[in-house]
Amino acid sequence: MAETVTPSLVHQFSKMKPADFGPTIESKWQVGQKLVKEIQGAVEKGQLTPLDGARTISSLTATLFGYDEFILREFSPETLLAATPSRR
């Protein structure tokens, strides 16, 4: 079965014109802002530790803005194997 390869969000964002970037990112920014407020509230109530809150916000940000795709692609097993010198 053939894999479908889509450009990462990081690459898509980097190719956008400044006028296109704002409208494209705004909806993600609004969702992220709501979720960050929820996480902050959970930390204040003691439902999450500050470290867990920070980790969650970091993961959320990476996911919404495409950095997780970049990291996963850059450090995928296939990429790491290709970069590893063969042993003879």
Task: Show me where the domains of the chain are located.
Answer: 35-75
The CA-atom distances, in angstroms, between 11 and each of 4, 27, 28, 77 are 16, 18, 16, 21
Tens of each residue's pLDDT in the chain, 88 residues: 455 555 666 677 778 787 877 787 788 888 889 999 999 999 999 999 999 999 999 888 888 777 655 555 555 555 545 555 555 4
- Does the predicted model carry a pTM greater than 0.85? no
Q: What secondary structure letter does DSSP report for 88?
A: -
Distance between CA 60 and CA 73 in Å, rounded? Answer: 18
The DSSP letter of residue 48 is S
Alpha-helical runs (H) found in the chain: 9-15, 18-44, 50-65, 67-74, 77-83
Q: Are 42 and 48 in contact (CB under 8 A)?
A: yes
